[in-house]
Structure 1
Amino acid sequence: MIMCAATSSSNSNPFSFALRGLRDREGGDCGSYYSIPDLGDQRIDKLPYTIRVLLESAVRNCDEFQITKEDVEKIMGWEKTSLEQVEIPFKPSRVILQDFTGVPVLVDFASMRDAMLELGGNPDKINPMVPADLVIDHSVTANVVRSQNAIQANMELEFERNKERFAFLKWGSSAFHNMLIIPPGSGIVHQVNLEYLARVVFNRDGLLYPDSVLGTDSHTTMINGLGVVGWGVGGIDAEAAMLGQPMSMVLPGVVGFKLHGTLRDGVTATDLVLTVTQMLRKHGVVGKFVEFYGRGMEELALADRTTIANMAPEYGATVGFFLVDHITLEYLKMTGREDETVSTIEAYLRANKMFVDYNEPKIEPTYSSYIELDLGDVEPCISGPKRPHDRVTLKDMKTDWHACLENKIGFKSLNMGLLS
C-alpha cells in the first residue's frame, strides 16, 4: 500500500515509478519508500553503503530543478565519477545545532518572521523545511566542584547568566514548527543525538528514508557509529539546509576499512581508535568517506564504534561510517526505541539493501582504496605527548619518554624550552 503523502510528493519526481509500499514480517503496513533496487541498475549493488544514502536522497528529492536526473546518474556512476571530482547536491534528512551556533540561526529565522510581517504576510509560515534539533550544552561553567549539590548549583548559575538567551530559546521552542529545542542539563549534543534524536530511518507522513544529518560541530561524526551518515558544517551551511537548499559537495572517494578477528583481553576501545587513527592518517583520507565493514564488526559494541567515528576529524575523513546491523538494532532498543519502530527500521534497510546480516551472502561493495586490520593485532597504547596520532605502545613507552626528554623542541618533545 502506497501512502497518500508519498504519492502527492512524487508528482514531479521522474523516479516516482520506484515508489513502493513496505510491509513488516507480519504483513503490516509500514509506509512507502523509494526503492533503490527498483531503479534496475546493476551498479547499485557495488556502491558503498554511504553512497547509497546519497543516492536515495537524490532520487527522493529529484525535482529536475535543485536535483536533476543527471545528478542521480553521477552518483550511480560513483566508481568513475568520484575520480573526476564532480559536484553533486545533497539534502540531509535533518540538522542538529548546539547553542553557540543555534542561537544565531534562531535569530535569523525570527528576523525573517519580522520581515514577513512587514510585507503583510503570515509570519507563522517561516519555519525550517527539514527537522532541526538544537541542544543547549555549551553554556555550563563548573564554578562549584567537589560538592554534593555541584550539579544543581552550576545549573542555577547557568540559568542566571543566560536568562535572556534561554528565554528567547524557550519562545522559539513553541513558535517554530519542525524544530526541537533540548533544554540545558539534558546532556552533551552528541550523547543526546545518539540516544534520543537519531532516527536511523525517518518515517515522515508515511514516507520512509535514511536518517542523515549535518551538524554545527566537527564531532557530529560520532553519529556514524549508529549507521547514520552525518558530518560537521558551518552555521551558514546548516541554515541553508534548514531553508531547503541542497548542499553542494564533491562526490567523495570511499575508503573500505575491513575489520576481522577479535580484540585481546585488556585491549580497550581507546587502544583501537588510536591504532585506526594512525593507520588512516598514514593512508590519507582527507575529504573522503571511510566505511568500516567485515566480520570483525560483530565484535565491536556500539560504544566502540562511536568512539572510532568520533575521531574522524582527527584522521581527516568526512565520515567514519559503520553499517547498520543487529548490534545497531539492539542499541536502539536499549535506548528506548519502540519495538515497532526498530522493526520498521530493519524492514526498510533490508528492502533498500542498506542492512548487513553476517549470516547471509552479500556482494562486497567496491571501494576507492582498502585498508585491513586484524583486531587481534591491536596492542595497549598511549598517545602524545602533544598530538593524538603520535601513538606509542605501552611496551615502548619508557624508551619513547626518554627520547622525548632529549629531543629538540617540537611535537615529540617534552622540552619546554626553559633556560637553565
Structure 2
Amino acid sequence: MSTFAAPKGIPEYYPPESARFLAVRDTLGEAARRAGYGYIELPVFEDTALFARGVGESTDVVSKEMYTFPDQGGRSITLRPEGTAGVIRSVIEHGLDRGQLPLKLYYSGAFFRYERPQAGRYRQLQQVGVEAIGVDDPALDAEVIAVADEGYRRLGLTGHRIELTSLGDNTCRPEYRAKLQEFLRGLPLDEETRRRVELNPLRVLDDKRPEVREMVADAPLMADNLSDQAAEHYERVKEHLRDLDVPFTENPRLVRGLDYYTKTTFEFVHDGLGAQSGIGGGGRYDGLMADLGGAELSGVGFGLGLDRTMLACEVEGVRPGDQSRCDIYCVPLGEQAKRRLVALAGQLRHAGIRVEIAYGGKGLKGAMKAADRSGARYALVLGERDLTEDSAQLKDLSGGQQESIPLSSVVEKARTVLSG
C-alpha cells in the first residue's frame, strides 16, 4: 500500500503539542486586543503583483521564495509570504482608512515561503501580526514594540531581546544609498551580489556569508546618516520605550528582509535558537499604502513567528497552555449507566465544562487509566448500584478523595469543585 506524508518543511501540531500552539497564538493575540487592535482575517493567496510591488522584486522573498502559480483563469496567484501587504490591500479596497485613525488591526495564520527546511525555518510558517495605520507618531511605534514584548513576557519568556535601529526617511535614504553603493562597488564581490548592490544595496549588509560580512564590516551605516527629522523620530521612539520600561539594544546593522521598511525597524532575537534566532520583528512603512494605490498614509507593525516562539519556550522550559483535554472524565459501568452519563455529559458541556466519556465498554481499571491520561481533575463514575440510588461517584484524581452526589446535583457540584 502507498502511504502519504505531509509536504517537506511543514510543521504539524497535534495533541498535546497543539495545546501549546494555541496558547502561544492566543496569548500573543490577546496582547494586541488589550491595546485596542481589532482582528482581520485575510485571504491565504493574493494577486502575485501585490507582493511584487508591496514587498519588493529585489527581495529574496519575491525573487526566490514565493509559491506562485496560474489559476484556472490564467491569473498569477501567490500563497501569501507575509501579512502586511495583504492588510494594506484590504484597507484600501474596503476604505477602512476613512474612519478614526490610527486604524489598528491584528491577524494570525499560515504564511508560505520556499526555503531550505531546518529547525525554526519552515515552508509553512505561522504568525501573529499587527498593523497600526494612518498616524506617524513615535509613541505608536513604541506601542507596537511594547505589545509584542508584552505577549512574549505573558508566555513566560525572559531570554529574548529587542534589537532596534532606524532605516531613515525619503530625505536621507537616497543619499545614503549612493554612499553605500560607492563603498560596495569597491569590494571584490561575486556577480550575483554585485547585481544586488545595484538593485538594493541594503540587502548586501544582510548577507549571512562570513566572507561577505567581513568585507562589509566598515560599510557606512544608515544610523550615521539620518536626516534631522528621522533622527528626532528615532530618539523619541527610544524615549517612549524607556518610559514603557521596554528594554532594547541598538543595532545599526539591523536590516529586515522586506523593502517597505522606513524609520523604526526592530527584531526580537532569542539566542537559544542558534542560527534561526529571530522570533519576530517589524517596523514602520511610510510609503507602502501609496505604492499600492492608496492614500499617503503611514503605518507600523510586526509579525511574530509562532513556530520559533514555541521553540524559544522549549529552550526556556516554558510550557504555556492547559495540556489537559477535559475537566471531568465520565466512567459508565454498564449500558444503562452509559445512557445516563451521555446525557449528563451534554448538560455539563452546556454549562461550559470540558467532558470526556469512556467509550467502547472499558472496565473500571482501564477507564481510570484513560481518565489519568486525559488530564482531567475529576472522574465521574456511574454503576448499576449508583443508578438505583440516583447518585454518582465523583473522584478527585489528584487527591484520591471520592464522594457520592445526587445525579440531579452533578452540574452544580461540578461547577463548585472546578471553580475552587
Q: Which TM-score band applies after superposition, normalised by the shorter structure?
A: under 0.3
TM-score normalised by the chain length of structure 1: 0.18
Is the radius of gyration larger for structure 1 or structure 2?
2
TM-score normalised by the chain length of structure 2: 0.18
